[in-house]
Amino acid sequence: MENRIYNFNAGPAVLPISVLEEIRDSFLNYDGSGMSVTEISHRSKWFDNIINDAIERIERLLKLDEQFHVLFIQGGASMQFCMIPMNFLKKGTVADYVNTGTWSTKAIKEAIILDKKVNITASSEDKKFSYIPRNIQFNKDSVYAHITSNNTIKGTQWTSFPDTGDVPLIADMSSDIMSRPLDMSKFGMIYAGAQKNIGPAGVCMVIIRDDMLELVQDDLPSMLNYTTYSSKNSMYNTPPCFAVYTIQLVMKWLEKDIGGLKNMEAINRKKAELLYTVIDSGSFYKATAETDSRSLMNVTFRLPNEDMEKLFIQEALENGMAGLKGHRSVGGCRASIYNAATIEAVEALADFMKTFEKKKG
């Protein structure tokens, strides 16, 4: 497609071209309605088909059984940071949190603001969040244990999930949802802001188990109560219709074009290997995450100095590669290679990195 560049933004992030084309082709007249998909009523047959098809595809991709509910909630993952303790933690109860960086830290902060009891059961702050903690001992009396599955800023990811025993595991999967198969029997709840790996900004996908819904507190505002969404198929009020529509199309792409999450994981591993191989080939580039904790979604690295990093980002953009600046809180460089980032895009970046090193190294 003309004028498209390789997009490595961390979020909002790249979407599959075929999804963008389908949106474009149906935008003014969705499914013969004579209206844009942004104009149809959320009470119409058209939107009923959209949201139900999205949910069915999510259920198939993740092999969800009937005890799980797929919800679409506004406010992004950041809203979940407060909703989770509000819904599940009664006075006198406690939750375990593993702190692996910025988003975990924010989730912990929101629980504390609500005067909820939080136990930081493990943290990687001692090494600037460059690794995922191992051999964690969770509190058996905790209502839930919370982790962030992938850390966009520090470039770390859980390669396998911890054993929490009978304590329900809740995971913020905003940046790696649908990037690999999941054993959902491990989780009481997962949630993901759409704008990194499954859609545009504006909606958070929540997948919650029946027994977690039974823990929900009664005295909550309607829009901050999970049962409001589960009882009304996420349509208690007007949902973010366009964002849900795009998620539906991305799920269709994952099923039909990619062939499921096992294939998606293989592609993601290949893309990450291309970049980490360049980074590890010498001393010019330096990965910021420890080897056994490296993310397949966000490849974070440094160059010899900040001036060189600025030049790298500038020249990459001149060569049609955008979004390679690291998060403002840490600097450096970051390539976000989510599901929709193509092998072609990552190969182009790897080649550019090699050329840049030869010229400047």
Residues in the chain: 361
3-class secondary structure, 38: coil
d(CA 38, CA 288): 41
Nearest residue to 231 (alpha-carbon basis) of 248, 213, 219, 215: 213
d(CA 79, CA 118): 18
- Told to judge if 211 belongs to the known catalytic residues of this protein, a careful annotator would answer no
Task: Please name the residue that has the structure tokens 């690794």.
Answer: 131
3-class secondary structure, 103: helix
3-class secondary structure, 243: helix
Residue 151 has phi, psi (to 5 degrees) of: -115, 105
Determine the distance from the C-alpha atom of residue 241 to the mean position of all C-alpha atoms in its chain, rounded to a whole number.
19
- Told to judge if 154 belongs to the known catalytic residues of this protein, a careful annotator would answer no
Residue 294 has phi, psi (to 5 degrees) of: -65, 140
| Catalytic-labelled residue, pool 116, 154, 196, 325 | 196
In one-letter notation, the amino acid at residue 167 is V
Contact in structure between 96 and 108 (CB atoms under 8 Å): no
Residue 57 has phi, psi (to 5 degrees) of: -70, -40
- Told to judge if 262 belongs to the known catalytic residues of this protein, a careful annotator would answer no
Nearest residue to 138 (alpha-carbon basis) of 170, 106, 181, 172: 170
| Catalytic-labelled residue, pool 158, 172, 253, 271 | 172
42-80 as b/e, with b when 16 or more CB fall inside 10 Å?
beeebbeebbeebbebbbebbebeeebbbbbbebbbbbb
Q: Alpha helix locations (H) across the chain? A: 17-26, 45-62, 76-88, 102-113, 210-213, 226-231, 241-252, 261-280, 306-318, 343-360
Return the active site residues: 103, 172, 196
